[in-house]
Chains A and B, each alone.
Chain A
């Protein structure tokens, strides 16, 4: 990382009466990155965002924007802008005035103001809509106004609080790519809160998976997907098969009531004793051919187009297997059929023992 992080949280805790929403959270967000806070509702992600925005003040800890400490400052003294979940467009003002609101507060007037507002409206594809009122716009257009209204102030960091939640699926996919494009074009840091793992993976360079007010794991989308470090992350991002076992060597785990399997050399990361081994369903092959294998019986088969999903009963419990339908008429397995499942050590990750967690 070069220079100072755009956003830095140091041991930030937020308590609401006796509920701890955010628990000693530390975080650095690099300049120019698209950072996602991902987690289920109530995990503290929105509270974290609101503390960065200045709508909540931390109970303990410090928040820095660049090298300036901002904890304690109200939101109007912070160089960040927010796109709210409900958009929070001012219903009594036109699109132009909504976007001009922040600039007017800074004392920008006249042709400069008009120029900047029109430029940002062009960027989000809303030219010609200046005179409309927010209620005369569609959901997607309102969303663009909210983005334009925040970006026109050229903040150090843009905060997005589940901004796509209210849109239908198709529009949401489109806006995900558009936002990513805008971020790429203007190069400022985006911090994005979402509970949708697919959205986070599509848009973000870095994802912090949160649970119970703490960061469970932080990394790039592929790091989180390929090598989740906890059972929660493995289950929250995509589907995982988790099999309990005991560490039996530097890169091997003996499955409970099953054979010994090899894992990624770095997967154990010093763990000993009880652990759980994880394999993504698409990384398991029907048939032998890989180093790790288990015998089982097909219980269910479901054809879903791009792939066929199987539930296979093995000595270590039920495993989910996806097989890509790469060419038409591929013969898979039928329910009741006995077969061998195999997978490579490289696609085998290890998380802490399932006991004591969800």
Chain B
């Protein structure tokens, strides 16, 4: 194609080419932004509607800004006790699950014993089976054992599904663990317990912390398993579900926003600590 014949169409062509180049250059950015918006939009709505001043029982239409929901965050009957119960359960369940998970992970990684393969498989079962099945079968078990439903059944249920996450998290750290470090500690006169306290535990602490946070997060928002095994008690997710049927109060959004905020602060803190460590390592 000679350039002379196309002379008058050239400006348009140039513009198109430039636009195309621009699109090509920014397509990944735009795509990422869209994906990000898709992920964040619901959370944005939750946060925005915690400042809504709804007319009527339903907090679905924007009708004015207010801070009242934040001031009276427990102004809805039952919300405070549900939140307290959820925190108690999440706290205890993550603690117990992380402690048991650590021991199970140590056993699975360190020792060959009869039934190790089976244990490995069983640990994955709660991760892979539908929650509804877990909840329903646990309910059957509790009914057969004639257990009184309430705090303890919720706690047992939460520990049950949290353990798997704790084991998987801590196992990953233990597999990369240099056994010579423990041998070195014993070589230097530390007995088994001192070795565990001074060497093993500090080195797997990040994984234990990760397991604790993960279990806490999973426990605090669990609905399905809890619904089957809560008996008369109401956790925060159960409260929201119940409230949504008769009109969700904006205080639910307040709590949701706070939980989200705590998670974001935790993440940012983690990133900052990591960056500082990397800078310290690079400086050396």
A contacts, CB < 8 Å to B: 53-55, 74-76, 80-82, 84-86, 88-92, 101-102, 105-106, 132-133, 135-136, 149-150, 153
Contacts and interface: CB of A to CB of B under 8 A. Distances in A.
Contacts of A54: 186-187
A105 B178 contact: no
A90 to B, nearest CB: 6
B183 A88 contact: yes
Q: Do most interface residues of chain B lie in helix, strand or loop, or is the interface mixed?
A: helix
Contact of B194 (A84, A90, A105, A136): A105
B178 A153 contact: no
A102 B189 CA distance: 6
A106 B186 contact: no
B187 A81 contact: yes
A84 B180 contact: yes
23 contacts: A54-B186, A54-B187, A74-B186, A74-B191, A75-B186, A76-B187, A76-B189, A76-B190, A76-B191, A81-B188, A82-B187, A86-B180, A88-B183, A88-B184, A90-B181, A90-B184, A90-B185, A90-B199, A135-B284, A136-B281, A149-B188, A150-B187, A153-B189
Contacts of A105: 188-190, 194
A53 B183 CA distance: 10
Contact of B187 (A75, A86, A89, A136): A75
A105 B187 CA distance: 11
Interface string B169-203: 00000000010110111111111001000110011
Contact of B188 (A85, A92, A102, A133): A102
A90 B190 CA distance: 13
Contacts of A85: 180
Contacts of A75: 183, 186-187
Given A132-B284, A135-B281, A136-B281, A88 B181 contact: yes
A153 B203 CA distance: 24
Interface residues of B, number: 19
Nearest to A105: B189
A40 B186 CA distance: 28
Contacts of A150: 187-188
Given A92-B202, A105-B194, A136-B284, A76 B186 contact: yes
Q: Which of B181, B202, B203, B284 has the most CB of A within 10 A?
A: B181
Contact of B184 (A74, A84, A132, A135): A84
Contacts of B189: 76, 102, 105-106, 153
Nearest to A135: B281
B213 to A, nearest CB: 20
Given A76-B189, A91-B203, A153-B188, A55 B183 contact: yes
A92 B203 contact: yes
Interface in B134-189: 178, 180-181, 183-189
Nearest to A92: B202
